[in-house]
Chain A
């Protein structure tokens, strides 16, 4: 579905990604693990066309995404749930939820979203920033499920959340996976992705240093945690 080959990316003069290679197959959950500053978010931003400069190949369903604008990339069926959640403070929960346009058929309808995230129904009229961190994360995920995008880029969805909320997010991602979505999941929390992802990539200094199948991951987890500095 998404093939990344020899991806390089820059912020101004700073060279962040150095020839990244990875694949996100259709209907699979792929994790990208690494320390702070390893290049995880930059990989996401490069896929969405949000970097100053990129080179290499970003092949999505036969189209090269490189040099497309972010809105054109989104309309190919890719949606980003950013690290900071980006809930708009001047908008209500409902306005935040309906902000992204429908780009293809097959997105979740509002009833399915309310079933998956009951809090969103209850807090519909609240300002987005009045929500708790967990609720904001749910809203940020719900927002992209409506659009019909089939590849979801989730950037550290558990960051700063209490363990009980992290479990809730984990169950939610598992249910989203059951709906057939492809997910690229950026994380620093190896235990969070352990049961969720089918394939794991480890990134360090802007380069992929290892690729582990889901079955192999449990055996290698101490090595992964060492790489993550845990």
Chain B
């Protein structure tokens, strides 16, 4: 009688161990983790099954598992694991593997998987923006030109219409396309083999997306569920606060960017809504932008503090974790520095800071599909998927 033939892939298990799940072999399948998890559903709960798939190197099983994304990584399972197998880290490592392998070009995924790829990741935008700077400097006759009225205006070098906007728009739509393909692939992987029969009324995936956004993302409800999990007897810093600040700062900054873009390009058609940059500090949009920056700093500080104070015995931090925190720190720091230098009329430092700001912002967004930040798309996609098929 032929049945499914198992193909254990030990190199995958090894990769997973390198991606942050180094303790995964220790699991002896007691299922304490699956019981401890406040989010795992009663039928086929995680992360017990993921642990055995991981140790057997069942790449196929693990990569196709929507439950990877249901996990919000509170670490209760790792705290309670009697064997120190750290299931939470294994789940995170499996997600890291998806960041690495889900989308093309895969070379980026490989660079993103460890510190050794960092120079390449940095050099691409650094060279790009230096090229733009040098071309513009040649046009303007100076590396650090002032505006006609003597102010520092970054647009003198990085002129929006021809430099920043095209680069970022291409990047934005490129990333969107890559993410679209990634999500399509992910959903296809989630789908079990054969026909999937759904009983009852079906809603469009858009309705489910709205549901996920309003019910979970905005409220951070799952974070509360994590906090309300079983007592582990171990002190754990609150995660919801920092993450929520960061998410809201991203929303605010995205809104500000959108308004400025609209004001800039729309202003060319309707002069009444035109916005000139740099905006004065008292301008409402500028105030909002600075509030966003402040929230970002607070959120970053909270999340960084939490990660630093994690109990190393039960929770490890992978390169993915540090990359994301690091890049957001750099974006925030260079952004605030450029504004500060500009206001302080420090010409050269202002341009240098702004240059790095552009480099880091580009890194943050262009590499999003392969970095941990990808979770905001993939997790949302997975949450929408499970809502569509009734697993929650």
Q: Do A and B bind each other?
A: no
A interface residues, Cβ below 8 angstroms from B: none
Interface residues of B, Cβ cutoff 8 Å to A: none
